[in-house]
């Protein structure tokens, strides 16, 4: 791939995916139709079938690079994609997100306007749905907001202190992801501790003196739906579990702020439940609080390192028609 002009830095779009070629078949054509002149797409694929490989072959675009991963875990996939990325800018995108033709221009513009050490969360708009029956995870910050240092006030009570957006849409200079050590591979979908990998990354960024920026002007459309009350309850249970686990992992490393934030969140939620019971109302988020506690307990049993080892002899390979094959073992 020829070097892009200085005004258009190469952007690597990293998409973690597993057995969801049907979603990629919607996402990729729109992404490949982008007006931006210099980008590549790294598909960090953990699929158990060859459907994604066949889709890539059908599309026949040399900007698509398929990264074969032998083990599951969204955080592991994102880390492998970042490692393989060639771009100055890396944009993480979920496989069930639709982008506009000018999305990459907006990403490049947002990164150029931000501090060099900024981790940027873009907006995630939900597809039209019936909120009485369905839930589509989304993140719509009302204004542009920069954070410096870990907020020590309850973001549930003061929404402007919510410092992390959605992991489906986060971007930065590649050097930022690398210096932060990537995502914690014990957290997130497909990992033992289920969720909150993006909150963990933002928290570590703030602790290390980086800027975390919420950008409402760079938006993707999220198609992922959870239909029916059982599915929605399971989703919130996963969120609670990962939330407790994430802060406990930092607490186990001796971080007093994580202890404070975990306790603060638990006390606030318990207070809301108690107030509802006193008022003879149905208490909110009991399941979330319970799973926060379970997640905090579960975090104790896993190693405190960020990266999970690959099984002996297993490797990661990158197939591309645009550059040579990459082999490595972590």
At 137-181, the pLDDT tens digits run 999 999 999 999 887 765 454 445 577 888 899 999 999 999 999
Dmax (CA) of the chain: 67
pLDDT at 272: 85
Top mean-pLDDT range of 5-9, 239-243, 262-266, 277-281: 239-243
Give per-residue pLDDT as tens, 177-227: 999 999 999 999 999 999 999 999 999 999 999 999 999 999 999 999 999
d(CA 235, CA 238): 5
Sequence-separated (6 or more) residues with CB below 8 Å from residue 254: none
Given a cut of 60, whether residue 329 has pLDDT beyond it is no
d(CA 125, CA 157): 23
Give per-residue pLDDT as tens, 244-253: 999 999 999 9
Any idea which residue has 């639709």 for tokens? 98
Please write down the HEC assignment for all residues of 123-164.
EEEECCCCCCCEECCCECCCCCEEEECCCCCCCCCCHHHCCC
Q: What is the rounded average pLDDT for all residues in the chain?
A: 88
pLDDT at 330: 34
Give per-residue pLDDT as tens, 298-321: 999 999 888 887 664 344 445 443
Q: Which H or E run includes 294?
A: helix 286-299
pLDDT at 268: 84
Domains and CATH numbers, the chain: 11-226+304-328 (3.90.550.10), 232-299 (no CATH)
Residue 280 confidence class, pLDDT cut points 50, 70, 90 = confident
Residue 70 confidence class, pLDDT cut points 50, 70, 90 = confident
pTM for the whole structure: 0.89
d(CA 125, CA 165): 12
């Amino acid at each position: 791939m020829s070097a892009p002009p200085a005004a258009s830095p190469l952007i690597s779009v990293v998409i973690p995916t597993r057995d969801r070629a049907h979603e990629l078949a919607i996402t990729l054509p729109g992404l490949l139709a982008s007006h931006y002149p210099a980008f590549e797409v790294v598909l960090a694929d953990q699929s158990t079938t060859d459907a994604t490989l066949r889709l890539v072959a059908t599309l026949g675009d040399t900007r698509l690079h398929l990264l074969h991963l032998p083990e599951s875990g969204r955080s592991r996939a994102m880390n492998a994609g970042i490692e393989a990325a060639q771009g100055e800018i890396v944009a993480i995108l979920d496989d069930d997100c639709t982008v506009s033709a000018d999305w990459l221009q907006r990403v490049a513009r947002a990164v150029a306007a931000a501090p060099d050490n900024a981790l940027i969360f873009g907006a995630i708009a939900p597809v039209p749905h019936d909120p009485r029956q369905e839930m589509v995870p989304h993140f719509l910050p009302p204004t542009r907001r920069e954070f410096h240092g870990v907020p020590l006030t309850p973001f549930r009570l003061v929404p402007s202190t919510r410092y992390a957006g959605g992991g489906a849409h986060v971007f930065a200079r590649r050097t930022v992801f690398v210096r932060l050590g990537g995502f914690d591979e014990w957290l997130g979908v497909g990992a033992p501790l289920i969720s909150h990998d993006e909150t963990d990354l933002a928290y570590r960024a703030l602790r290390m003196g980086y800027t975390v920026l919420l950008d409402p002007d760079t938006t993707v459309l999220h198609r992922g739906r959870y239909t029916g009350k059982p599915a929605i309850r399971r989703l919130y249970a996963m969120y609670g579990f990962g939330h407790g686990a994430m802060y406990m992992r930092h607490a186990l490393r001796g971080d007093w702020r994580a202890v404070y934030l975990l306790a603060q969140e638990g006390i606030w939620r318990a207070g809301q439940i108690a107030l509802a019971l006193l008022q003879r109302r149905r208490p909110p988020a009991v399941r979330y609080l319970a799973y926060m506690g379970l997640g905090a307990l579960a975090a104790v049993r896993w190693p405190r390192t960020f990266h999970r080892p690959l099984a002996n002899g297993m490797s990661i390979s990158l197939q591309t028609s645009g550059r040579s094959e990459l082999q490595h073992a972590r």
